[in-house]
Amino acid sequence: MRGAEISGCEGVLSLDRAAAGCDFEVRGLEGPACRQLREIGFCERMRVRKLTDGRNFLCVVCGTRLALSRSLARQVRVEPVV
């Protein structure tokens, strides 16, 4: 688990694989729900904090708490903020 957390905080990866408790920056979106994700706040260069893990999980984007499903999170590419 610890190892997974460390790997989840390194390099560009999809948000569903990112570790909870880390801060990320959105690098891009790929998939059919891009427009919907951008509208709600997951747009390029936006900072995201992943709060929880699970089937649906919580993120904070621009001061707003958003709940999203794992399948949607797979469409968001993020990079850890160092």
Partner 1 sequence: MRERGKNGVLPKVALVGHPNVGKTTLFNRLTGERRKVGNYPGVTVEKVSATVFTPHGKKIELVDLPGCYSLSPNSPDEAVTRDVLLGDHEGESRPELVICVVDAASLERHLYLVMQVVDAGLPVVVALNQADRAEAEGLRINREVLRDLLDVAVIPCQATNGQGLVDLKQTLRFPLPAPVSRQWKGPAAVESAIQKLTRTLAESGVSRPEAHAIHLLADPDYRLNGQARVLRAAQIEARQTAAGLIERDLKPEEVISEARRAAIRGVVRAAVVRRGDEEESRSDRIDRWVLHPLWGWVIFAAAMFGVFWTIFSFASIPMDLIERVVGAAGGAVGSLLPEGDFKDLLVNGVIGGVGSVLVFLPQIVLLFLFIGLLEGSGYMARAAFLMDKVMTRAGLSGRSFLPLLSGYACAIPGVMATRTVSSAKERLLTILILPWMSCTARVPVYLLLVPLLVSGPFAQTLVMFLMYFLGTVTALGAAWVLGKRVGRGAPESHFLMELPPYRLPDAGYVGRQVVDRAMSFLRKAGTIILGLSILLWALQAFPRAPSGEEQDQFSHSLMGRLGHAVEPVVRPLGWDGRLGTAMLSSFAAREVFVSSMAISYAIDADGEEGEEAVRGRVRERIASATGPGGSPLYTPLVVLSLLVFYVYALQCLPTTITVQRETRSWPWALGQLAGMTAFAYLASLMVYQGGKLLGF
* Residue ranges in contact with partner 1 by CB under 8 A: 32-33, 35-41, 43-46, 49, 51-52, 54-56, 58, 60-69, 71-72
Query: Least distance from C-beta 40 to partner 1, angstroms?
Result: 6
Query: Least distance from C-beta 11 to partner 1, angstroms?
Result: 23
Cα–Cα dist 74/30, whole Å: 8
CA angle 69, 30, 27 (to 5 degrees): 95
Cα–Cα dist 26/79, whole Å: 7
Give 19 or 37: the residue with its C-beta nearer to partner 1. Answer: 37
